[in-house]
Amino acid sequence: MRKPELATAVAKKLKLPASTVAKVIQAAMDHLTTELAQTGRLAYRDLGTFTVESYPARKIHIPATGKTIELPARKLVRLKPSQPLMKKVQQSHVTGILSKQDERLLGRVTIESTRYEGKPLIRDTDVSVEFLLSLLVQGQTPAQILQAHPALRPEDIRACLVYAYQAIARES
């Protein structure tokens, strides 16, 4: 995401003019970069810790040319990601390609440890995800399933498929 996209997203969320938000973001970035340059460290709980690491000058050999060259001393900025950030990134691996509608559908699936040995069920029914998948594997159409199980709604079948996809994606 680039700065203009960030400004637009924040402006929309806060219902402020994008130009004002862009100025605030620029002022924040200016302050953060100055602080990092002066102190060598910035820590933000939800993002991580930025540190400046210094490396001395050194000589390296380039095998292709046979030459030895001098690399000047340099400083690099490192980010050690926070636990919340890493958790979010790992979750995005699973949900990253799901649409917002698919993510809402996952709310239709519930797991209650006291019912059906903790297997995932379609909310407000006694129908398990496993049972619905077995019906689909047997070749039943969604219309046939809905007719045989009136407590189900059409989105429950899609929720079952999204849940199954998510479970498989988590394993890989």
Rounding to the nearest 10 degrees, give the CA dihedral for residues 117, 122, 127, 131.
-80
Q: Domain limits at 161?
A: 97-171
Average pLDDT over residues 97-110: 78
Q: Which residues pair with 121 in a beta bridge?
A: 110, 128
Dist. CA 141–CA 152, nearest whole Å:
13
Check which CATH number belongs to the domain holding 112 and give it: 1.10.10.10
Higher pLDDT, 123 or 115: 123
Query: 95 with 103: CB under 8 angstroms?
Result: yes
pLDDT digits (tens, 9 = 90+) for 28-51: 999 999 999 999 999 988 889 999
Domain containing residue 34: CATH number: 4.10.520.10
Let me know if residue 165 belongs to a domain: yes
Contact 84/45 with Cβ under 8 angstroms? yes
Q: What are phi and psi of 68, to 5 degrees?
A: -110, 130
* Domain edge (last residue) among 81, 107, 136: 81
Among 101, 98, 150, residue whose Cα is nearest residue 124: 150
Same domain flag for 8 and 70: yes
Please state the domain count of the chain: 2
- Rounded to an integer, the average pLDDT of 115-132 is 85
Q: Which two tokens stand for residue 112?
A: 């209650």
User: Quick one: 41 and 102 in the same domain?
Assistant: no
β-pair partners for 38? none
Q: How far is CA 137 from CA 114, 128, 131, 140, 159, in A?
A: 27, 14, 10, 7, 16
